[in-house]
Amino acid sequence: MSHTNECGVITNLKQMASLCHLHSLNKMSRFLKSVTHFKLRKLWLSTLSSLVGEKNLILMGPPGSGKTSVGKVLGQKLGCPAIDVDDDVLEKTWNMSVSNKLQDVGDEQFLEEEGKALLKFSASGSVISLTGSNPLHPSSMEHTKKNGLVVYLDVHSQDIVERLERMKVDRIVGQRSGISIGDILRKRKHFYKKWYDVRVFCETGDCVEVVADKVINSVKRYQGVHSETFVSTRSQETNKEPSKFFSDVVIEGLASDGGLYVPKNGLPKLTAGEWKRLVKSSYAERAQIILERCIHPADVPAAVLGEILEKAYSDNFSCNKIAPLRHLSGNQYFLELFHGPTGSFKDLALQFMPHIFAYCVPKVCNYLVLVATSGDTGSAVLDGFSQLSDLDKRRIAVFCLYPENGISQVQKSQIIACQGENGLAAGVESDFDFCQKAIKEMFTNPKYTGFLTAEYATSLSTANSINWARLLPQIVYHASGYLDLVDQGVITFGSPVDVCIPTGNFGNIMAAVYAKQMGIPIRKFICASNQNNILTDFIKSGVYDLRGRTLLQSVSPAIDILKSSNLERYLHLLANQDGCLVNKLYSHLGSQGYFQLPENLLLLLQQDFIGDWCSETDCVSAIRAFYGATGYILDTHTAVAKVVADRVQDRTCPVIISCTAHYSKFAPVILQALGIEEIKQNPLTQLHVLNSFHPLPPAHTSLLGMLKDKDNRTSQKCQADASHVMDCVENYLQSLFLKVY
């Protein structure tokens, strides 16, 4: 590390360039994290007797969560002392019972004296059961945490209340008349979540033994820093590539062999009991439990993840449920994914992903996130990355390519309006597939990337739906939709549902497949296409065939796609991680323009998937008819899904339809569908006319605001030529990162 001074700041540009070599640098950052933030790991080998080593295992949780009894069992299992702060520290220090002390001195002084006693106390190689109120005293917690790993016993509040009644606990800190135990527990959570390294998510009815085992397993996962790796969908067993971790795949986006990254061991599964605990939880809480399981704490510590989730899913969404589920007709439930700042489901991923990205990338070099958009991704990426801190915005920027004539007027205005200090959009006289290809070419051109690194200390990355950190948060809303069905009493946990999703790049529907892997009982994945129905044909015949197909422009432009990237992830899963097969299929697609799935895999695929498509006229009529029947306006993509669900879903279970955009993004078609003859050019006027229908859902306020605020900025134009695109990128980098030096 001789290149950096103490705060990791590099002063010499050339040195920085040499350090910005993607792989080595990220490895280094992960290594540094593992020796600084996780010093204990080295001492903790995987056998039980050495689990604790010289460090302590610190149990934290609310009163009644079982810290003392679990601590005793763990002490026995691990062959080490079990220390209870109440009995062994406080009562001995004070020479009186804790409840007497509390009665004597009152809450505030109690906390102070409790903290002081803990500050004087030290131990090693022990299991320590904290008191429920220790985490309210920061300095003593810092002191204690220095020498150990904090395990949070997360017990359902309802279970706690019952236990406390049973145990006849008379008084806890913070309790007075008018304040319920529930209120206290809610408040306490804010303190607990600051300190924990490992969460143990307890289920109703878990006995002490079970919780102790869960503690051990969670600690093992925490230590198993090398166990959760990713592979490329095209990786062949024979070549020994270095392991890829979460941070690597977030930074790299696409694997160097052209494949997509997937978790080597699949997605972790939650038990039915764990899912049931989430039925009453908020969206951000659901996200936290789900994503903690999928992101190793060595990459993103749970407390950091929590902070990110609070930023990602709060009042930047116009609905506090974030992704509400609405019942409008028959057995169809509409999962509204358009309440984010830019009005499409892309926000669900992109209000989250940039923060994760900024956390994972090394602090010493610049990043340019390249993104191709068929409309909605562009504004969502630009808006998402504009939410970063000022410091991060100075080193992370976005370059967005879109087909000049392939997106709606509102979408284009939105993209232009969303270009912040760290974002630029360029329109290309070509289609989406060109944009995607141009970006892929820049990535896989080592000369070009090497040049950018050397000249601008900049690495390229992507925020397209092929990036794992984009796909991952999408699992949450599929799970959330299902949990809402349970919460609304439509089904009990465990009964099946179908999902129906308007599909282009296969990201949204792939996330539903992952939600099923994690334990959400989805029966059929209904893949809805428009007239670009290559996926429908593929699901029916097993042949993915680009030959003779040209991209048709439709009223649902976000799914005007012929090369459905994330399908590769599904095929990899289907083929039992056979990277050779996937490799073969995709090189065949490259050279021959098609591939054919082996018969046995096609049969498997058809057990999961139903594919169908919706014509342009059916789409428009569906919007008109549904508005007539319910007063609700579907966007054009949602309408595609609705038409397909009407046609192919067998009505033996509920179907959750993904509403992927707010209708106002496609105002002209919607107005036409509603029978408006004369449609004004100005998008803002269009939205006002739409609003005069007083429809459900109501107008999208942040979208309206965006169009109103839009200044006279225009977006850049780019020729449909890969080398010109590269020049545009370089010009942008010059304006961004060069002037700094």
Residues that bind ligand PLP (CB under 6 A): 344, 346, 376, 465, 502-508, 558-559, 637, 660-661
Is the separation of the CB atoms in 457 and 16 below 8 Å?
Answer: yes
Least spacing, CB of residue 329 vs ligand PLP, in Å: 20
d(CA 423, CA 382): 6
Provide the 3-class DSSP secondary structure of residue 52.
coil
d(CA 676, CA 693): 11
Least spacing, CB of residue 559 vs ligand PLP, in Å: 5
Is the separation of the CB atoms in 458 and 366 below 8 Å?
Answer: yes
Least spacing, CB of residue 603 vs ligand PLP, in Å: 24
- Among residues 214 and 346, whose Cβ is nearest to ligand PLP? 346
Assigned token pair, 648: 């192919």
- Among residues 57 and 559, whose Cβ is nearest to ligand PLP? 559
738: DSSP letter = I
In whole angstroms, what separates CA 301 from the centre of its chain?
A: 15
d(CA 246, CA 266): 13
Report the C-alpha dihedral over residues 571, 575, 580, 584, rounded to 10 degrees: -50
d(CA 445, CA 440): 9
What are the φ/ψ torsions at residue 96 (nearest 5 degrees)?
-155, 165
Least spacing, CB of residue 580 vs ligand PLP, in Å: 26
- Sorted by sequence, the CB contacts under 8 Å of residue 203 that are 6+ apart come out as 156, 271, 273, 274, 276, 277
Least spacing, CB of residue 466 vs ligand PLP, in Å: 10
- Among residues 140 and 503, whose Cβ is nearest to ligand PLP? 503
Strand order in the sheet with 396-403: 458-462, 366-372, 396-403, 423-428, 716-718
d(CA 103, CA 119): 22
Which residues on neighbouring strands pair with residue 372, listed in sequence order? Answer: 401
Least spacing, CB of residue 173 vs ligand PLP, in Å: 48
Is the separation of the CB atoms in 700 and 663 below 8 Å?
Answer: no
- Among residues 475 and 733, whose Cβ is nearest to ligand PLP? 475
d(CA 696, CA 629): 12
Strand order in the sheet with 198-201: 82-84, 127-129, 56-60, 148-154, 198-201
- Among residues 16 and 690, whose Cβ is nearest to ligand PLP? 690
- Among residues 63 and 378, whose Cβ is nearest to ligand PLP? 378
- Among residues 244 and 563, whose Cβ is nearest to ligand PLP? 563
Least spacing, CB of residue 430 vs ligand PLP, in Å: 18
Provide the 3-class DSSP secondary structure of residue 313.
coil
- Among residues 448 and 468, whose Cβ is nearest to ligand PLP? 468
Pairing mode of beta strands 655-659, 332-336: parallel
- Among residues 222 and 570, whose Cβ is nearest to ligand PLP? 570
Least spacing, CB of residue 223 vs ligand PLP, in Å: 35
- Among residues 419 and 508, whose Cβ is nearest to ligand PLP? 508
- Among residues 63 and 502, whose Cβ is nearest to ligand PLP? 502
Least spacing, CB of residue 270 vs ligand PLP, in Å: 23
In whole angstroms, what separates CA 499 from the centre of its chain?
A: 19
d(CA 480, CA 493): 12
Least spacing, CB of residue 688 vs ligand PLP, in Å: 22
CA distances from 133 to 217, 376, 483 (A): 26, 47, 32
- Among residues 504 and 579, whose Cβ is nearest to ligand PLP? 504
Least spacing, CB of residue 436 vs ligand PLP, in Å: 11
Least spacing, CB of residue 222 vs ligand PLP, in Å: 32
Least spacing, CB of residue 146 vs ligand PLP, in Å: 45
Is the separation of the CB atoms in 635 and 660 below 8 Å?
Answer: yes
Largest CA distance in the chain: 87
Please name the amino acid found at residue 391. L
- Among residues 255 and 349, whose Cβ is nearest to ligand PLP? 349
Least spacing, CB of residue 228 vs ligand PLP, in Å: 24
- Among residues 290 and 661, whose Cβ is nearest to ligand PLP? 661
> Is the bond preceding residue 697 a cis peptide, omega within 30 degrees?
yes
Length of the chain as a residue count: 741
Assigned token pair, 729: 């990128």
Task: Give the 3-state DSSP-derived string for 293-309, with helices as H, strands as E and coil as C.
Answer: HHCCCCCCCHHHHHHHH
- Among residues 332 and 503, whose Cβ is nearest to ligand PLP? 503
In whole angstroms, what separates CA 623 from the centre of its chain?
A: 31
- Among residues 10 and 659, whose Cβ is nearest to ligand PLP? 659
- Sorted by sequence, the CB contacts under 8 Å of residue 690 that are 6+ apart come out as 633, 663, 664, 667, 670, 671, 674, 699
- Among residues 419 and 556, whose Cβ is nearest to ligand PLP? 556
Assigned token pair, 384: 């998402």
Least spacing, CB of residue 529 vs ligand PLP, in Å: 10
- Among residues 20 and 535, whose Cβ is nearest to ligand PLP? 535
Least spacing, CB of residue 31 vs ligand PLP, in Å: 34
Assigned token pair, 194: 């600051």
CA distances from 317 to 485, 501, 602, 701 (A): 21, 22, 40, 10
Pairing mode of beta strands 594-596, 543-545: antiparallel
Assigned token pair, 720: 């449909």
- For 175, the enclosing helix (H) or strand (E) is none
Least spacing, CB of residue 52 vs ligand PLP, in Å: 45
Assigned token pair, 658: 């993904």
Least spacing, CB of residue 306 vs ligand PLP, in Å: 26
Angle subtended at Cα 115 by Cα 111 and Cα 121, rounded to the nearest 5 degrees: 150
